[in-house]
Structure 1
């Protein structure tokens, strides 16, 4: 009988502990994070920054991956509205399609903060990102200094419609406007390394001389560099954007000339700090910039 009572008491105590743990988890504030893609080191780092800072502040994070698909992003927003999150951080696939996602959250009375890429509509409390226009201009000035403001330049663009593509392109093109650079090709490679490789290979076949490449992210820059290396065009200066680990390593080895450091972990941390203020009913700015820097050898 004593042994039987001991077993019963053990079961009751274990059940109490489980119930206690569940209550504790349910009491924590939940932040929803919808990421454009986790098949890109930059956004993996951004996610890490969000999760690390959230843990420090006692928040849980629910992460959904849009896989670079606007329709998937809309589906993710619909899903996250029923996951009992208190606020959502949205990293859009592109800025136009993000309007639908933001409006779903608005209709569910769910506060939205955009991260890295903006939404072109809907009610967004704040946008946390690097100054992409300034970053594009930074890349332009670097190449102008290295090449004496003369030569043939190629620009690889990101996903059409995203604010990052628009702003990085504007910063770069405005930056070289008064120089002797000639923009001989400008094509989209969707922020993807494999596409960056194939697009650059096609450009190489159609252009006699290329002096520099500005890729609007590091994945495309690394793809372009591989294409140039394969064509034995090792003197072409390639500048990327994001300062991912692979790109920084390539800069150290002299394969990439430079990368604009966007500091994704810091963007994620800053986004959670903004969420923390919103949840405490503190006022925050509509746009919170995160510092950029140029990484060179």
Structure 2
């Protein structure tokens, strides 16, 4: 069993508040990201380092790049356990394969928080996520409304086997299913692995294969949706001929919304990561820990701290529009 350092600290050497100063070594939190190339993941990384307890030095973050490989993430979890980390936060690559991380952490007596993506288990300490079925529905609903629930669409999916691809796809199908039967046809659906370049390549092929027949484009993330815009414009076309939507609210997508090129459903990277750190610290430090992130005030009435004991925390989505896009752009560094 992992040695417990916290029981001797509570009430004696810690002042457990947002301005707490640890009398002994910082709490060590391992953050296992599935990969570090996409802007959204980089926003999550920055949010981790911006957490008040991390900035104060009371918490030390070790950031792991999973290199888009579930086995790499499982091996990194072993490393985190072996190097005496107090908690593990995982943004998993694979819905099933990364369950091993939860099992290993549980065996070692280490709290494990699942963030952003989902795992096919309920054995984690907690998960801090956004409802991907809802996110997929919101973008799908935008496309259906834009094309009047009639026509042909293509769907660019996330990596196969990941919870994002599975659950956003369910939301996409729900939105399409609300249209009259047979009125909307899915011409193509294929993974572009969250990649703008792969999204562009897919769309270039589809534009040639289905000339003049595509009405709506559902990108299960913004990167892929932005890739389709590059393909359309690169072929001499105009995005005005298509309804395009993505998910995440990355910076380029915000500018694309501002310029009427697409819709985006913002997923709060800061909320997911800082919420995960607060929940992890609650399970490491104990009942005296009070959340340090501002997200609990930001989403007051929508997100209940519940003394850090909820099994699941759902960070709300934000539909990006002309009214809020400028404010969102100002938050980007």
> Gaps (5+ residues) in structure 1?
1-23
Aligned length: 273
> Gaps (5+ residues) in structure 2?
1-21, 288-307, 323-333
Match of 2:199 in 1: 196
Paired residue for 2:40, among 34, 39, 42?
42
Match of 1:183 in 2: 186
The alpha carbon displacement at 1:122 in A equals 7.0
Matches within 5 A, 1:38-187: 38-53=36-51, 54-55=53-54, 58-121=58-121, 123-179=123-179, 180-187=183-190
> How far, CA to CA, are the matches of 2:122 and 2:80 in structure 1?
17
Which shifted more, 234-243 or 271-280? 271-280
Match of 2:316 in 1: 291
Question: Quick check: 2:111–2:280 contact (8 Å CA) kept in 1?
Answer: no
Q: What is the TM-score with the length of structure 2 in the denominator?
A: 0.78
Question: Quick check: 1:240–1:259 contact (8 Å CA) kept in 2?
Answer: yes
> How far, CA to CA, are the matches of 1:124 and 1:117 in structure 2?
13
The alpha carbon displacement at 1:129 in A equals 0.7
- Counterpart secondary structure, 1:81: helix
The alpha carbon displacement at 1:219 in A equals 1.0
Match of 2:296 in 1: none
Q: What is the TM-score with the length of structure 1 in the denominator?
A: 0.87
> How far, CA to CA, are the matches of 1:81 and 1:60 in structure 2?
15
> How far, CA to CA, are the matches of 1:296 and 1:152 in structure 2?
24
The alpha carbon displacement at 1:196 in A equals 0.9
Alignment RMSD (CA, Å): 1.8
> How far, CA to CA, are the matches of 2:154 and 2:45 in structure 1?
31
> How far, CA to CA, are the matches of 2:147 and 2:216 in structure 1?
9
> How far, CA to CA, are the matches of 2:119 and 2:172 in structure 1?
22
> How far, CA to CA, are the matches of 2:260 and 2:134 in structure 1?
24
> How far, CA to CA, are the matches of 1:66 and 1:103 in structure 2?
18
Which shifted more, 266-275 or 25-34? 25-34
> How far, CA to CA, are the matches of 2:122 and 2:218 in structure 1?
32
> How far, CA to CA, are the matches of 1:274 and 1:164 in structure 2?
22
